[in-house]
C-alpha cells in the first residue's frame, strides 16, 4: 500500500498535512502560523470539511509523535524477527536495583558480553533511538534489544544483575 500525505496551504492561517487512509478518510495536522496545532478528521463525504478537530500543544504533539514512532519502530522490529529464524526482539526493563542505574549504556558492554544489539531505549514513553554508549541509564528505562534467544536471556541477566 502506498501512503499518501498531502500538503494544503491555508493562506493567512498556516498549513495542513493530511494522511489519506486506505479507506479515503483524511487525518490531518493543522500547523497555525502562531505555532498552535490541531489534529483533524475530515468529513467522510467532503474531504475539505472537518468532522472533528482537537487542539494540541507542542508537548502533546511531541508525545504523539513519540508514541507513533515507538509503536512503528517496535512493530517493524517485531515483523523483522518474525520473518527471520533465530532473531528476536525483547524489551528489558532496567530494575531499580540494577548496578547499571546511573551508569552509561557503554558500561554494560552488552554487545561484547552477550552479542545482543541495543536498538532503542524507551524512557517516560519517549523513544531514544540508536542510543550511544554514553547514554546514561535510569531506573525504569526499557532497553529494546535484538539478538538470539540465548543472547537476549544473557542480556536480561546482565542488565538486572551486572556481570558475573
Q: Where along the chain do its domains lie?
A: 4-56, 74-161
Pairwise CA distance, residues 12 & 33, whole Å:
8
- pLDDT band at residue 96 under the 50/70/90 scheme: very high
Distances (CA, A) of 84 to 77, 87, 104, 138, 147: 11, 6, 30, 31, 11
Q: Say if residues 135 and 102 touch (Cβ distance below 8 Å).
A: no
70 contacts: CB under 8 Å, gap ≥ 6: 120, 122, 125, 126, 127
pTM of the model: 0.54
The CATH code of the domain at 74-161 is: 3.30.70.1450
Q: How many CB atoms lie within 10 A of CB 164?
A: 7
Q: What's the pLDDT tens digit per position in 108-160?
A: 999 999 999 998 899 987 888 888 999 999 999 999 888 888 999 999 999 99
Amino acid at each position: 500500500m502506498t501512503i499518501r500525505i498531502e500538503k494544503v496551504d491555508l493562506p493567512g492561517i498556516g498549513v495542513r498535512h493530511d494522511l489519506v487512509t486506505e479507506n479515503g478518510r483524511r487525518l490531518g495536522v493543522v500547523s497555525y502560523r502562531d505555532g498552535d496545532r490541531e489534529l483533524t478528521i475530515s468529513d467522510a463525504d467532503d474531504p475539505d470539511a472537518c468532522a472533528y478537530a482537537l487542539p494540541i500543544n507542542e508537548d502533546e504533539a511531541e508525545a504523539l509523535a513519540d508514541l507513533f514512532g515507538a509503536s512503528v519502530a517496535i512493530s517493524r522490529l517485531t515483523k523483522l524477527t518474525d520473518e527471520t529464524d533465530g532473531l528476536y526482539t525483547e524489551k528489558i526493563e532496567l530494575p531499580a536495583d540494577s548496578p547499571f542505574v546511573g551508569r552509561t549504556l557503554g558500561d554494560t558492554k552488552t554487545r561484547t558480553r552477550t552479542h545482543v544489539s541495543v536498538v532503542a531505549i524507551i524512557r517516560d514513553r519517549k523513544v531514544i533511538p540508536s542510543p550511544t554508549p554514553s547514554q546514561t541509564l535510569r531506573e525504569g528505562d526499557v532497553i529494546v534489544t535484538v539478538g538470539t534467544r540465548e543472547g537476549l536471556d544473557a542480556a536480561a541477566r546482565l542488565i538486572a544483575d551486572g556481570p558475573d
